[in-house]
């Protein structure tokens, strides 16, 4: 395959237990738990609980978690690193750093460009602490070693699979599939900054629709409120002792770091030629942990703003319970709207995507002769996909599927001398005769 090895290594665990979909499903569950743990450690438990609720109710998150794509596992690895980083800030020990370093290794091996995007702000933070805090030096070296080990593994994998450490499988499949700007990049032959910005706008627009699925494009409003509040606190820090004390606690630093992670991941993908919109703006998926935590921060800041406004207008110190209950029900209604009015129709739109269905492959597999190779008269990968996934990676399935390649079918006969080779057409199976496939030398290919 053309993809890096990190995610297949994890997905293989699902293959070993006989149910590959369990990998992303379990990863999604752990993502929700890690969001609670991270926000609780950095901020407080209510923030973690609200952030986890927003994540678990996100149509975008749920659809990716139901897919075979690498993003859910990579979000899990990102959250593992963030939790490790937060733990080492409070108590810098290698025991707390090792899980984060291991997550970095797998993240680099799975999605190297994404790894750069989500780790860059924390690499800068780590360098700043390396200079100011001697006890941080072993921690910084541990995280750096994780990145280095993952990079070496990725280069070695490229060397074994493509013959060149710096040549990815992407480029063997599509020579134009590269990161950067200029000629030779993208199917059009040239990727420009303007096209990258256009892709970004398209992805952010879709993000506004499917992040939480709220009406009126409200999805990003809590995030923007949190960023605005953090920016205001940063500007007021030199003039306000209370803000300075808050900064010392580290919550403002985490606000800025999480916001920087979102900006870094989005900004880095401007240099990639495609928006990659598959089950949503998937290139931004690994920033979901930061986004939901900041969204929870923004919602609580909004609630505090209403509380302050009430106190100023009414000169009362306490907000009536009826208003608090009403605000809670409004949020519940938004979440319900996102799941039912936005999520369900959006999920249904992907049924039979690319016109790929379980049938007739399921029926053909059930009716095919045992210990056979079934040749299919198809040319498109979308037609072949539901059959191909039924082949064991070790080619030891009772029924194997292959494309009918005419004269080259003799090669299949030579490779599987102990199997029945049959052609499938119009609901029937016809044995392949050698006369149908003139002999060719397998070694010559």
Over range 3-11, report the average pLDDT: 94
In the predicted structure, residue 324 carries a pLDDT above the cut 70: yes
Q: What band does 443 get if pLDDT is binned at 50, 70 and 90?
A: very low
How confident is the model over 187-217, as pLDDT tens digits?
Answer: 999 999 999 999 999 999 999 999 999 998 8
How confident is the model over 32-46, as pLDDT tens digits?
Answer: 999 999 999 999 999
How confident is the model over 338-376, as pLDDT tens digits?
Answer: 999 999 999 999 988 888 888 889 999 999 999 999 999
Q: Does pTM surpass 0.85?
A: yes
Measured between alpha carbons, how far is 118 from 261 in angstroms, rounded to an integer?
5
How confident is the model over 148-184, as pLDDT tens digits?
Answer: 999 999 999 999 999 999 999 999 989 999 999 999 9
Query: What percent of the chain clears pLDDT 90, i.e. is strictly above it?
Result: 75
DSSP state of 421: E
Over range 387-407, report the average pLDDT: 91
Over range 313-334, report the average pLDDT: 84
């Amino acid at each position: 395959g053309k993809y890096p090895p990190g995610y297949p290594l994890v997905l293989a665990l699902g293959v070993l237990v006989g149910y590959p979909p369990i990998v992303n499903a379990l990863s999604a569950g752990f993502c929700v738990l890690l969001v609670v743990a991270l926000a609780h450690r950095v901020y407080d438990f209510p923030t973690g609980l609200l952030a986890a609720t927003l994540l678990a109710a996100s149509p975008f998150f749920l659809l990716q978690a139901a897919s075979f794509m690498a993003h859910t596992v990579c979000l899990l690895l990102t959250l593992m690193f963030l939790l490790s980083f937060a733990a080492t800030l409070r108590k810098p020990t290698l025991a707390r750093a090792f899980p984060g370093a291991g997550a970095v290794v797998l993240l680099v091996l799975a999605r190297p460009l994404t790894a750069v995007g989500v780790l860059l702000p924390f690499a800068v933070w780590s360098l700043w602490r390396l200079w100011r805090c001697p006890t941080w030096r072993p921690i910084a070296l541990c995280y750096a070693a994780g990145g280095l080990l993952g990079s070496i593994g990725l280069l070695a994998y490229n060397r074994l699979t493509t013959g060149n450490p710096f040549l990815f499988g992407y480029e063997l499949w599509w020579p134009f599939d590269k990161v950067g700007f200029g000629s030779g990049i993208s199917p059009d032959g040239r990727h420009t900054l303007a096209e990258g910005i256009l892709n970004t706008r398209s992805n952010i627009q879709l993000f506004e629709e499917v992040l939480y699925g709220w009406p009126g494009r409200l999805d990003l409003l809590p995030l923007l409120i949190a960023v605005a509040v953090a920016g205001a606190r940063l500007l007021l820090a030199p003039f306000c002792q209370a803000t300075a004390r808050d900064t010392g606690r580290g919550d403002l630093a985490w606000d800025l770091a999480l916001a920087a992670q979102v900006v870094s991941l989005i900004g880095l993908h401007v240099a990639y030629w495609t928006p990659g919109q598959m089950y949503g703006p998937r290139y931004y998926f690994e920033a979901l942990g930061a986004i939901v935590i900041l969204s929870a921060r923004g919602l609580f800041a909004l609630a505090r703003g209403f509380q302050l406004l009430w106190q100023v207008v009414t000169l009362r110190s306490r907000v009536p319970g009826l208003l608090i209950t009403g605000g809670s029900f409004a949020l519940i209604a938004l979440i319900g709207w996102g799941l039912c009015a936005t999520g369900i129709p959006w999920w249904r739109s992907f049924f039979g995507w690319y016109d790929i269905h379980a049938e007739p492959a399921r029926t053909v597999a059930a009716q095919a002769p045992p210990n056979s190779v079934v040749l299919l008269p198809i040319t498109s990968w979308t037609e072949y996909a539901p059959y191909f996934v039924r082949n064991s990676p070790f080619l030891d399935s009772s029924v194997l599927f292959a494309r009918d390649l005419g004269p080259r079918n003799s090669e299949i006969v030579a490779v599987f001398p102990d199997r029945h080779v049959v052609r499938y057409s119009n609901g029937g199976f016809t044995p392949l005769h050698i006369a149908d496939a003139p002999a060719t030398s397998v070694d010559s290919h």
